[in-house]
Structure 1
Amino acid sequence: MTIKNITVLGSGIMGHGIAQVSAMAGYKVFLRDIEQVFLDKAMEKIKWSLQKLTEKNKITSENAVTIYNNITPVIDLKKATENTDLIIEAVPEDFKLKEKVYGELNEIVKNEVIFASNTSTLPITELSKLTNHPENFIGVHFFNPPQLMKLVEVIPGKDTDKQVVDELTRFVHSIDKNPVICKKDVSGFIVNRIFIPLVHEALHSMDRDKVSMDVIDSAVKFKLNFPMGIFELADYTGLDVIYKASYEMSLRDKHVLLMHPRIKELYEGNQLGQKTGKGFYEYKKENYERVNLTEEKAAQYEPLSIVGVAANNAAWLVENEVCTLEDLNLALSLGMGLKTGIFDLVRKLSPSRVLENLKSLGEQQEFYHPNKYIENFK
């Protein structure tokens, strides 16, 4: 089982980014979408990205031409997959759309082709059943933008062959990324299991403690060493992504997050964050604007419940052998930019205070009941 030729289905932000990093590693890539206008736009973005790398002396002009020519944009699905070894599906997060795509693939691809879905939330085992060969199906969750983000979560389904896991892990290494294996197909995988519930918890904290968004975000940034505030990060990620991930995660695991209605309101109002000019915050420029967060604002709030919710989900992942503590910290460092491990944050804020806060909240809402690992935390 050797991967030489790759097909990427979907030429959006994730699709064309995955195509680019694969082509940069020397793979021949077919980039497929349903309309030429989508492909033209994607290839322009790839050309722009390669030009930037040339200007920064990270690649030569000759390299840029070779990489660009390693990618063949195509509409015809049969042509895109006839000689492929690996199909990376990066179509929108809609189960029915993915069902349609895999149904078409079942009719035309050879039996030994590996299917890899770039889904961030949909269950891999469920998706694998849409194909004729679930043993050849795996999740490869890249992070946005794929050209810059080093983390790739590798998620085997219930029936995934170990050889496929090994081959995909080698592939991720070959494109200069860090694979972290999510050993069980759980809701949210690793990073989203931590991140998505925190967006909801930040909103509950606002309501409960009567503080502003920028105060909470300042506390998260300066007291917890996050690269940016929770609301700021949600706006950067996109409230459409947050909403869809929240829905899918809670659909499959009622204990993973405590839904706050504000996420759905923003989504339905098309207030999706930076991409629409307004989400939790307002943005006036096309380039990404940083929110004014300060240490003075941070001093006004103790984000105990935010750390508690993160620690509860982190403990659940380790306790259920979804990943090791080392892999958890690596994934959160590379995927969320966390400079401090979750349990080190508990120590920083005081284990007893975090535990007491969770117990107090747990009296009103079972969701907050502390994990046994935290109850025994030193």
Structure 2
Amino acid sequence: MSNFTNVTVLGTGVLGSQIIMQAAFAGKNVVAYDIGQEQLNKLPARWEWIRGHYRNDLAGYTDEQYDAAVSRITVTTDLAEAVGSADVVIESIPEQLELKKDVWAKVGAAAPDHTILLTNTSSLRPSDFAGATGHPERFLALHFANTVWRNNTGEVMATSFTDKKVFEDTQEFARQINLEVFPIHKEIPGYIINSLMIPWLFSAAKLYLAEAADPQVIDHDWKVSLGSPRGPFEVFDIVGFNVAYHIIMGGPYAEMKPFAEQLKAKGMDRGRTGLGDGIGFYEYDEQGQIVRPNPDWVIYGD
């Protein structure tokens, strides 16, 4: 299959909403599914937030194109309805293995026989829940980077169960939604980018837990020393506290749980989960530019 018209995205959070718009802006009809109407009610404001970034970052952007993309998005809290006509299903729900198994069992029972089943899991091993779908030969990973309209990578990773043609078709779908494709032929948790990035982020978090320096000092040192455009705590804000929290709590990262607890108490419980909320380790203006470090995370005020 080479014409993927109908796309369903499960989860409408920070990255899920970006995936929805990425597909809709590329001309796909997209169904956005979430478990409650409260989450879906946040989407119109999210579209306007993303619009500003598209306008700034994409050459040739027009509001007419964007409005047409929004018109191609429908929303639902009915999972069977969401996947009933899907050519592709993309899951972007929290990093909890049992939750993913439960959702994929329901999707596998309701989706058409031709549907490609894709997970955007950040750190779990897709083969650990492929069987829950009932169709492991059609199941694999398509991993998106945050701010996908700009960092438009599509890591396509097969499991040992994935049919070769489905692996190839997924790469074609990724190109159709304007991703640069990076095929990964052997399954590994974290793909390429997260296998490199997670240890780096956690090293920065350990410096903070040890009270070695404030986040903005750690970031600035990294950027000056390596010539990097962003430091690790800026990247935490882009990734989002929820994603980092679930990676820590769901993986072999016991030493990082005190940091996860702080992410929850200082951030998630207060609706301050990073760039998507306008405040994380830093406070941001409407254009997503840093205004100042968030005082809640400052130890010394350097």
TM-score (norm 2): 0.80
Please give the alpha-carbon distance, in whole angstroms, between the structure 1 residues aligned to 2:157 and 2:71: 30
**Unpaired segments of 5 or more residues in structure 2?**
294-302
The answer on whether the counterparts of 2:284 and 2:292 sit within 8 Å (CA) in structure 1 is no
Give the equivalent residue in structure 1 for 2:151. Answer: 149
Distance apart, 1:278 and its partner CA:
7.8
Q: Structure 1 residue 90 and structure 2 residue 95: aligned?
A: no
Give the 5 Å matches for 1:199-210: 199-204=201-206
Give the equivalent residue in structure 2 for 1:167. Answer: 169
**Structure 1 residues 305-347: Cα deviation after superposition (integer angstroms, max 9, x where no partner):** xxxxxxxxxxxxxxxxxxxxxxxxxxxxxxxxxxxxxxxxxxx
Paired residues, what number? 285
The answer on whether the counterparts of 1:236 and 1:274 sit within 8 Å (CA) in structure 2 is no
**Structure 1 residues 151-172: Cα deviation after superposition (integer angstroms, max 9, x where no partner):** 1211111211111111111111
Give the 5 Å matches for 1:117-266: 117-204=119-206, 213-250=215-252, 259-260=255-256, 262-266=258-262
Distance apart, 1:139 and its partner CA:
0.7
Give the equivalent residue in structure 1 for 2:81. Answer: 79
**Structure 1 residues 79-121: Cα deviation after superposition (integer angstroms, max 9, x where no partner):** 2222211111122222222222112223222222110011111
Aligned sequence identity (%): 28
Distance apart, 1:247 and its partner CA:
4.4
Give the 5 Å matches for 1:326-337: none
User: Which amino acid is 1:187 matched to?
Assistant: P
The answer on whether the counterparts of 2:285 and 2:291 sit within 8 Å (CA) in structure 1 is no
Distance apart, 1:136 and its partner CA:
0.2
Please give the alpha-carbon distance, in whole angstroms, between the structure 1 residues aligned to 2:53 and 2:24: 16
The match for 1:267 among 255, 263, 269 is: 263
Give the equivalent residue in structure 2 for 1:312. Answer: none
Give the 5 Å matches for 1:64-75: 64-75=66-77
Change (3 A) 1:284 1:120: closer
**Structure 1 residues 229-285: Cα deviation after superposition (integer angstroms, max 9, x where no partner):** 22332244334422432444437xxxxxx9445423423534467638986x56487
**Would you tell me which structure has more strand in proportion to its own residues?**
2
The answer on whether the counterparts of 1:136 and 1:161 sit within 8 Å (CA) in structure 2 is yes
Give the equivalent residue in structure 2 for 1:9. Answer: 10
Please give the alpha-carbon distance, in whole angstroms, between the structure 2 residues aligned to 1:29 and 1:150: 18
Please give the alpha-carbon distance, in whole angstroms, between the structure 2 residues aligned to 1:206 and 1:73: 40
- Indicate the RMSD between aligned Cα atoms, in angstroms: 3.2
Who wins on radius of gyration, i.e. which is larger? 1
Distance apart, 1:221 and its partner CA:
0.8
Change (3 A) 1:116 1:57: closer
TM-score (norm 1): 0.65
The answer on whether the counterparts of 2:209 and 2:259 sit within 8 Å (CA) in structure 1 is no
Give the equivalent residue in structure 2 for 1:23. Answer: 24
The answer on whether the counterparts of 1:30 and 1:80 sit within 8 Å (CA) in structure 2 is yes
Change (3 A) 1:79 1:264: closer
**Unpaired segments of 5 or more residues in structure 1?**
252-257, 293-378
